[in-house]
Structure 1
Amino acid sequence: MSRQSLLRPKEGLPRGVLGAGDARFATVVRIFAGMFPGRRFGGGALAVFIDGRPVVDVWTGWADRRGEQLWTADTGAMVFSATKGVAATVIHRLTDRGLLAYDEPVATYWPTFGANGKADITVRDVLRHRAGLSHLPGGVTKDELLDHEAMEAKMAAAAVDYLRGRPAYHALTYGWLLSGLARAVTGCGMRELIREEVARPLNTDGLHLGRPPAGSPTQVAQILAPQSTRANPVFNFVAPRVAGLPLSGAFGAMFFPGVKSFVQGDIPFLDGEVPAANGVVTARALAKMYAAIANGGRIDGTQFLSEELARGLVGKPKPWPDLNIGVPMPFHLGYHESPIPGLLKGFGHIGLGGTLGWADPETGSAFAFVHNRLLTPMVFDMASFAGLAGPLRNAIGIARRAGPAAVPKYGARYRDPVAKAKGRP
């Protein structure tokens, strides 16, 4: 297709939207732009790949709460639970090299994990949220939550609960289960592994766990969330007690004292390694990861995952209601299918606020949508992507049949902070 077939600033893209897109995604980009109508609605980015090639890479809006800093090609958003898909991809890379096996007990690799009735929990059980370890240990503090090695040790020492073997979303503990497992076979933490096992082979700087290091091209967008620090004595008294109940569901899996303060100010949540929740990514980088999965494990001439393993990630999970969150979250190996039947084909992972990364191997397509809005006047943030799903699916089908137009490659390539510190290129 010709240059004129691409949407560009002042050449088909809505006002305020930067980047580029295949012209057949015009409706999709217009809907995306409409999600950020003013400064108080923040900013975001959308990226789409077909057959391993980028066909949409656009961004718009503001990266700060005051509406003074524009979203850029290298603005990253904290994507909450969409981080889990990235952490799971690390596990798949290690499995591909023979360091792990899905049906082997976790304790085979991480011996201390076998304590308190956990000797038979397999890697597959953990990836499918069936380990029976979904609730945070009682009395965990903010400081402990930011100490990833301490949290991994708590997971190793914990006893399983009555949900063992049944689908129960591990909202926060999932990340430390995966990082403890990965550390046992590599000696590295998940922050380093996400960089080495995902960002480096994909040649992108846009994938980080926690706050990107000083000098990184990826700059974190501020989270648009209520900034009031007024205490609520009744809530502060009741909440920990409710969270500690056996039937506390998702609340018990997510609540800890001071949870609200973690996304305020300079976002202290980013100062730890929470592989289930505090990933900072660009839409482009997250979509590229899923594009490799959707394209038989291959992208940009690199075999990111073996074709056999990539095919096995599809699975056929049953849409049973999750026992913690009450809605169907059909998990296979770290990714879930659409919680709303028929909305999306394929699999990926959604995060709080509606950010998500997604792969559809059947059409060879992948996409990611990220933003910095949480609990703003646009109260349906969690479902904000639903309006894009149908038009996006249609545009992918049309573009694939006619031959998609690739867009320029924006954003910073992989940067090695260790090499940079030592003066290497």
Structure 2
Amino acid sequence: MADIQGSYDDLFVAVPRALAELLDGGDVGGSVAVFVDGEPVVDVWGGFADAGRTVPWERDTLVNVYSVTKTMTALCALVLADRGALDPDAPVARYWPEFAAAGKDGVLVRHLLSHTAGLPDWEGPVEELYGWEAATARLAAQAPRWEPGSAAGYHSLTQGFLVGEVVRRITGRSVGAFFADEVAGPLGADFHIGLAAEHDRRVALTVPPPGLDEEYTAGSAAADGEAGTGTAIRVRDGNSVAWRRAQIPAASGFGNARSVALVQSAMACSGTVRGTRLLSPAGCERAWQEQFSGDDRVLGMPARYGLGYGLFGTTYGWGGWGGSLVMIEPEARAVVAYVTNQMREPAAGQRGLELVMSAYDGLLGLRA
């Protein structure tokens, strides 16, 4: 059985066992954390940080969590809303006047957070993702693909720029700087939107699915017979230095399971973690107020969206390309996070869900 490092409460022995099974089954490396009341009851890792399996995954190894980053960007917006600086029901153009172009004057902030703004695809070259002004100017000029608020279509790359520019217009800081100053810094969380060169040595590069190489791309075609116009993102792009340095707040966050679970514990614990208050209980509840329920016209499957988070029964959270995942259980004041450098296809998210389920017996045991 794979060697698992870290610590865990005896009630949660199924979690490290599940991680070991994934590594024994061929995964390269990963980490899992379960936090309850803002404290770790599981903090484990194992495997390797490189495709050649020569560099062990360490306690402080970082990995690109792709769309799990959306939950961090959403938290920034929710913090601003809780402070009264951002109104989710306001037109985006109130904060970002140029955004009103091309018939977008009726797009509301909550539409950005719930994938209903009608701007789901990135229609420019990959290189423009690395420059904030070029990316946001292109999005400001685009016309919506559908009547905003009338339908949902997953904004895989665009959501971070859209929400992030609103954050920047309000605060004068990039979303990465705001997150570092107002969220990660106060909590002591090792999560980064825009990774500094000093952390490169700790990064576990993404490993493509077995049998595929770094040209493997994220799907960009839309469902419902629509032509997907989005630029496909390759594993090669996600592993580039340019990607790490850029702030792509929907997809370029770097962290480990511990940091993801710590940050999102703010949402699980009514806004306060380890004595640090990020937002109020009412501010947390905004996240799971349903904004859309139905078929996502980009994903081609049923989806429920709150403000920045996917809704799944009584839990909420989101997953990233390749398999990383975070799920929040507000009733149990718990968060389960899994990050990995190993992509799988199909059903990459299934591994994360298995790890989430492995934590449930322990959560039930704590209630007993």
Q: Is TM (by shorter chain) over 0.5? A: yes
Query: Counterpart of 1:54 in 2: which secondary structure?
Result: strand
1:110 pairs with 2:99: no
Q: Equivalents in 2 of 1:168, 1:217: separation in Å?
A: 34
1:362 pairs with 2:321: no
Report the CA distance between 1:76 and its aligned residue. Answer: 1.2
Contact residue 120 and residue 155 of structure 2 kept, 8 A: yes
The equivalences for 1:205-284 within 5 A come to 206-210=190-194, 212-216=195-199, 219-225=202-208, 226-227=212-213, 247-248=226-227, 251-253=228-230, 255-256=231-232, 259-264=234-239, 266=240, 268-284=242-258
Q: Equivalents in 2 of 1:73, 1:113: separation in Å?
A: 42
Contact residue 193 and residue 253 of structure 2 kept, 8 A: yes
Contact residue 320 and residue 328 of structure 1 kept, 8 A: yes
Deviations 1:17-62 (A, max 9, x none): 1110010111222012111127x62111111111222111001110
Deviations 1:232-274 (A, max 9, x none): xxx9xxx99x78x9812xx434x34x7353135x464323221
Deviations 1:166-202 (A, max 9, x none): 1111111111101111111112112212211221121
Alpha-carbon spacing, 1:75–1:400, altered in 2? closer, same or farther (3 Å)? farther
Q: Equivalents in 1 of 2:298, 2:119: separation in Å?
A: 12
Q: Equivalents in 2 of 1:263, 1:303: separation in Å?
A: 33
The equivalences for 1:14-25 within 5 A come to 16-25=3-12
Paired letter, 1:126: L
Deviations 1:98-149 (A, max 9, x none): 2111111111111111111111211111111111111222xx1122121122
Q: Equivalents in 1 of 2:181, 2:275: separation in Å?
A: 18
Structure (1 or 2) with the larger CA radius of gyration: 1
Gaps of 5+ in 1: 1-13, 402-425
The equivalences for 1:74-223 within 5 A come to 74-137=60-123, 140-162=124-146, 164-165=148-149, 166-204=151-189, 206-210=190-194, 212-216=195-199, 219-223=202-206
1:295 pairs with 2:269: yes
RMSD: 2.5
Q: 2:24 aligns with which of 14, 22, 37?
A: 37
Contact residue 207 and residue 343 of structure 2 kept, 8 A: yes
Alpha-carbon spacing, 1:49–1:144, altered in 2? closer, same or farther (3 Å)? same
Report the CA distance between 1:319 and its aligned residue. Answer: 3.8
Q: Which has the higher strand share?
A: 2
Q: Equivalents in 2 of 1:179, 1:314: separation in Å?
A: 20
Q: Equivalents in 2 of 1:367, 1:283: separation in Å?
A: 8
Quote the residue 1:410 is aligned against.
none
How many pairs align?
362
Q: Equivalents in 1 of 2:111, 2:350: separation in Å?
A: 28
When normalised by structure 2's length, the TM-score is 0.91
Contact residue 19 and residue 58 of structure 1 kept, 8 A: yes
Query: Counterpart of 1:362 in 2: which secondary structure?
Result: helix
Quote the residue 1:353 is aligned against.
322
Report the CA distance between 1:163 and its aligned residue. Answer: 5.3
Q: Equivalents in 2 of 1:252, 1:74: separation in Å?
A: 38
Contact residue 18 and residue 58 of structure 1 kept, 8 A: yes
Identity %: 32
Report the CA distance between 1:307 and its aligned residue. Answer: 1.6
When normalised by structure 1's length, the TM-score is 0.79
Quote the residue 2:343 is aligned against.
374
Deviations 1:68-119 (A, max 9, x none): 1111111111111111111111111111222111111111111111111111
Q: Equivalents in 2 of 1:246, 1:178: separation in Å?
A: 28
Query: Counterpart of 2:81 in 1: which secondary structure?
Result: helix
Report the CA distance between 1:229 and its aligned residue. Answer: 6.2
Paired letter, 1:89: L
Report the CA distance between 1:390 and its aligned residue. Answer: 2.7
Q: Equivalents in 2 of 1:109, 1:318: separation in Å?
A: 23
